Amino acid sequence: MEWVDDYTIKLDKELSELDKLLFSFLQVLRKYTNYVIVSGYVSILFGRARATEDIDVIIEEIDWNAFQNLFKELENNEFWCINASEKNAFSLLEEGLRVRFAKKDEIIPNIEIKFYTSLAEKIAIENALSVAIQNRTIRISPLELQIAFKEVLLASEKDLEDAEHLREVFKDSIDEEKTEHYKKLLESEKKW
């Protein structure tokens, strides 16, 4: 692993089945909207050995027509929405809820998308890091925001271990002042 610049990490690794699923999904998604990967998958991407049932993706809002096209193209690429029909899925997203997609005839693992609804999610999209893996690129939440989110909002044992893993892997590049800033931001959002 190496930092190419302040916003790009080059990662030398073999693609897991989970990575392949995500890249297949993103090949379609990135045609329709901007996105950022958050939560557990970020720790797994950087070597944390743990299972996950889903990959969390925050997206910028799109209109009904763009969503219809996205939905159809996902279906054409062997994905299905496991928790809603096309129209209901869009309604869920508009309500700030999550929609899950998996490969046809499967449920787990799945990819969970939602429109960004908070300042922290907007910051994650606007300040995403790029991770280059085998001539492919994905966008992840800034590490400091990822750690703060895990430690402040989620705070389960698994989430705290994810945050600790990221702190260890990136011990020479984590900006603790930024992490503390994001923690305060998340605490204030949590109160609302």
Region of 116 (left: φ > 0; alpha: ψ -120 to 50; beta: rest) is: beta
DSSP state of 150: I
Residue closest to 73 by CA, chosen among 60, 82, 86, 84: 86
Residue closest to 114 by CA, chosen among 83, 135, 75, 148: 83
Q: Using DSSP, state whether 187 is helix, strand or coil.
A: helix
Q: For residues 165 and 171, what is the distance between their CA atoms, to the nearest angstrom?
A: 10
45 close to 55: Cβ distance less than 8 angstroms = no
Q: For residues 165 and 121, what is the distance between their CA atoms, to the nearest angstrom?
A: 22
pLDDT tens across the length of the chain (192 residues): 999 999 999 999 999 999 999 999 999 999 999 999 999 999 999 999 998 999 999 999 999 999 999 999 999 999 999 999 999 999 999 999 999 999 999 999 999 999 999 999 999 999 999 999 999 999 999 999 999 999 998 999 999 999 999 999 999 999 999 999 999 999 988 765
Question: What CATH number is associated with residue 179?
Answer: 3.30.460.40
Tally of domains within the chain: 1
What domain range includes position 109?
Answer: 2-191
> Which structure tokens are listed for 28?
């379609």
pTM exceeds 0.85 for this model: yes
Residue closest to 150 by CA, chosen among 127, 179, 122, 191: 179
Phi, psi of 77 (to 5 degrees): -105, 25
